[in-house]
Chains A and B, each alone.
Chain A
């Protein structure tokens, strides 16, 4: 079945440093969604990318969808303590509806 892998599993950065997490799917995706889960909280939708090569920005967050629609990345510029949490990518295969989540990247920020 479809697998979605994320790296790194965990990253600890100094406040103000940049952070990037990468997402790779074993199959071509119809779209990629990113969710953030704060410690003790539930996943909250951040963004969806649909087009091959698409890039979207939300303030300090930049999301990219690969040309082959099998990988994606999330880059945070100048991290803040409010960025702490686990970032999940999730995508349905081109032929299906079910969202398959990656294992997430845990971000910790030292102030």
Chain B
């Protein structure tokens, strides 16, 4: 079974620039998550989708971050404009369903450096 795919793996940009990340979840997984992991911390949920609808985006900085999952499969996360404090690893994860007992499968992440 193929895992969660993410691209790019690494991205370096200057502050105030824009950046987009892409995620392809495991086939058949209805729920998709975007996490931000700052060095030395645990992953922090940014947004959770169930199919193409948003379940939770309470911790997404909506003035600069946006995410979509238009057809209920792939997803993109965008940052516009980026700030220095956005430097982190952005992890995409998926699970079969949205309930609290579902195991989450993580992708390799995109390491973003904002200069």
Hey, which bits of chain A sit against chain B, CB under 8 A? 4, 30-31, 33, 35, 41-45, 48, 50, 88, 90, 92, 96-104
Given A90-B42, A98-B56, A104-B42, A42 and B107 contact (CB-CB distance below 8 Å) = yes
What are the nearest 6 A-B pairs in CB distance? A101-B42, A92-B100, A42-B106, A45-B103, A43-B106, A97-B100
Interface centre among B40, B42, B107, B108 (most CB of A within 10 A): B42
25 cross-chain CB contacts under 8 A: A4-B42, A30-B101, A31-B100, A33-B103, A42-B106, A42-B107, A42-B109, A43-B91, A43-B93, A44-B106, A45-B104, A45-B105, A48-B101, A90-B42, A92-B100, A97-B56, A97-B99, A98-B45, A99-B45, A101-B42, A103-B40, A103-B41, A103-B42, A104-B41, A104-B42
Judge whether B43 is part of the interface by a CB distance below 8 angstroms. yes
Hey, which bits of chain B sit against chain A, CB under 8 A? 40-45, 48, 55-56, 91, 93, 98-101, 103-109
Q: How far is the CA of A48 from the CA of B100 in the complex (A)?
A: 11
The closest CB in chain B to the CB of A92 belongs to B100
- B residues near A88, Cβ cutoff 8 Å: 42-43
- B residues near A96, Cβ cutoff 8 Å: 100
Given A43-B106, A97-B56, A30 and B100 contact (CB-CB distance below 8 Å) = yes
Q: How far is the CA of A41 from the CA of B9 in the complex (A)?
A: 12
Q: How far is the CA of A41 from the CA of B44 in the complex (A)?
A: 16
The closest CB in chain A to the CB of B106 belongs to A42
Report whether A98 and B101 are in contact in the complex, using a CB–CB cutoff of 8 Å: no
- B residues near A35, Cβ cutoff 8 Å: 106
The closest CB in chain A to the CB of B40 belongs to A103
